[in-house]
Amino acid sequence: MKMLVTGAAGFIGANFIHYTLKHRPEYELTVLDLLTYAGDESTLESVRDKITFVKGDICDKELVDKLVGGNDIVVHFAAESHNDNSLRNPWPFIQTNIVGTATILEAVRKHEKRLHHISTDEVYGDLELDDPAKFTETTPYNPSSPYSSSKASSDLLVKAWVRSFGVKATISNCSNNYGPYQHIEKFIPRQITNILSGVKPKLYGKGENVRDWIHVDDHNAAVHTILDKGKIGELYLIGANGEQNNKTVIEMILELMGKDKSDYEHVNDRPGHDMRYAIDNSKIVRELGWQPQYTDLRAGLEATIEWYTENNDWWQAKKAEVEAAYAKQGQ
């Protein structure tokens, strides 16, 4: 089986490539990635001889048409994905997440290929801290940022192409991922690399915001489960019951790295910062038999800290630029 993976030089996509080569060697993999700031070709350096890498834009109709036509399955990770950046400049998110997804859909439609579209739980907006509810596949979309709005738009495009044109597609909406190769602008690797750089970690506001954390390998295992067993036209929520507030996470990281758990700075909160995300994963567990393997966040964080400590060369050159951008926002 030939598989085209878009955005596979980014965090989750790169881990998907490594996971697939290790656990599903029957797939012949082609990667399409534009290598924007969040894409890093070095994440695939150790497997370059096992994949076909194409540098290109998912908005390039001719290129996408050619690549989709030459593969059996398309797994669509490519996206602009950082809330803070979307608040500073929404346009790349509109272009990549909406126009790019439409380009993929038209190629998949033309060539009658199988598509799996990767999305986020942020399309649902947020929940109150004292609300016992979780997001389900029937929760109405209520995005709150340019990023989450653009991802909601991309999901709706996929649903429309399934219904209107019979495209063979599935969608997954996942909770917050963590693990190796995550860009250091993101919450967990930013705190880890701050400590490794001798800088105090930064906590938005009071740190009460809750995220439902999942290890990236669990996410990617779920994607393969959907490819194997998922029903065409269905949406599946992927989560690992890993709810923790940001304050708890930053204190856990400090403790694991041998620091006083109170040794962090409070910075300005993000505008419109969603309070709580929580995934009800019962559909994918019940219908497809998937189960997360990393159910202990502390153990997962320990492994992630070890990876960033051992791969200093991968992130260090990016660090000053990322922190300068945050400093301009008082964060």
Active site residues: 121-122, 147
CB-based contact 254:260 (threshold 8 Å)? yes
CB-based contact 230:192 (threshold 8 Å)? no
Task: Give phi and psi for 186, each to the nearest 5.
Answer: -80, 160
C-alpha distances (whole Å) from 273 to each of 14, 52, 125, 208, 269 are: 28, 39, 10, 11, 7
Residue listed under structure tokens 């497809």: 288
What's the DSSP call for residue 279? Answer: B
CB-based contact 237:171 (threshold 8 Å)? no
**C-alpha to C-alpha distance for 92 and 184, rounded to whole angstroms:** 19
**C-alpha to C-alpha distance for 74 and 95, rounded to whole angstroms:** 19
Q: Which two tokens stand for residue 34?
A: 């534009």
Task: Tell which residue, 290, 87, 89, has the closest CA to residue 204.
Answer: 87
Task: Tell which residue, 1, 8, 121, 122, has the closest CA to residue 58.
Answer: 8
> How many residues are recorded in the chain?
331
Task: Tell which residue, 145, 49, 141, 67, has the closest CA to residue 110.
Answer: 67
Residues 6+ apart with CB under 8 A from 307: 179, 180
Q: Which helix (H) or strand (E) holds 211?
A: strand 210-212
Residue listed under structure tokens 């801290």: 129
What are the b/e assignments for 139-149, b being 16+ CB within 10 Å? bebebbbbbbb
